[in-house]
Amino acid sequence: MLDPRISVIGERLGRISKIIAVSSGKGGVGKSLIAATTALILSKKGLQAGLLDLDFTNPSSNMILGVSNVYPIEEKGMIPPKIHGVEYLSITFFAGDEAIPLRGEDVTNVFIEMLALTKWSDLNYLIVDTPPGLGDVLLDLLKLIRRLMFLVVMTPSRLSLGTVRKLLALLWGVKAPVIGVIENMLTEASASLRDEVERLGARFLGSIPFDPEVERGLGNPKKLLETKFAKRLSSILDQALEIT
């Protein structure tokens, strides 16, 4: 049985220069926040950026970006709406605020459907917000988007480091390019795990101190971009992605 959707994916992603998956393996490290803010920062720097939220069961990028009353346009596929300059697609456009309990094969189907239908324009960067875990979506990403690069996010916790170690081993095992590791939510009480990350052989991109102002910037991208969190992330991205 032929699945015509698979053959369309390469064409749909063909006009994008770089595709970056923001991953962590573990939940609660600020992955969605970093993914969404990265897309906003790149757009603010004058680059064409997109954000694809692949967290189907618990998406949050719509809340971070303050998305409401906009929908993709159906025209030989789906044209993603622009949110504060960022082309954006999430399952929340179709499921609203309802929970979507999905098992493995369904997750893969949604993933393929979104990749096969979405008509991204000429983007410099597509940022992919991935769900926690090392399962279905990660495997599908590696299978279906060949030229994918990974940006790994962790917190200064040994629990987070343990998961990052597994994630990196998995990615390196399939020769997937890893841009580096960002340490998020650093506090005075928590020592940086920079040395441990570098001992794993990964590029440590920098630490972002915990910023309570971020909460007030949720749903308001302009305010979010003014936080210390966003400014620190911006300088990390300048170096990591060699943006001049």
Partner 1 sequence: MTTERGVRGLIDVTIRIGELQQIDLETFKFALEQLSRQYSMHIKFELKEERAEFRCGVCGEVWSFERENLDPEIREAIHVIPEVAHAFMRCPRCGSPDFEVIKGRGVWIESIGEGIKC
Task: Enumerate binding residues for partner 1 (CB under 8 A).
Answer: 1-5, 56, 74, 78, 91, 94-96, 98-103, 105-106, 109-110, 113-114, 117
CB of 79 to partner 1, least distance (A): 12
DSSP 81: P
Q: Phi/psi at 79 (nearest 5 deg)?
A: -95, 115
CB of 6 to partner 1, least distance (A): 11
CB of 22 to partner 1, least distance (A): 22
Nearer to partner 1, 97 or 195 (CB): 97
Which residues have CB under 8 Å from 196's CB, separation 6+? 161
The rounded distance, in Å, linking the Cα atoms of 161 and 151 is 14
Nearer to partner 1, 96 or 212 (CB): 96
Strand order from edge to edge, sheet including 178-186: 82-83, 86-89, 49-53, 123-129, 16-23, 148-154, 178-186, 204-209
Question: Which of 56, 55, 45 minimizes the C-alpha distance to 86?
Answer: 45
Nearer to partner 1, 56 or 150 (CB): 56
CB of 66 to partner 1, least distance (A): 21
CB of 8 to partner 1, least distance (A): 12
CB of 21 to partner 1, least distance (A): 20
Which residues have CB under 8 Å from 29's CB, separation 6+? 153, 154, 155, 160, 184, 185
Nearer to partner 1, 21 or 115 (CB): 115
Cβ(140)–Cβ(54) under 8 Å?
A: no
Nearer to partner 1, 78 or 197 (CB): 78
Residues in the chain: 244
Sign of CA dihedral 207, 177, 59, 122: positive
Nearer to partner 1, 96 or 173 (CB): 96
The rounded distance, in Å, linking the Cα atoms of 45 and 244 is 9
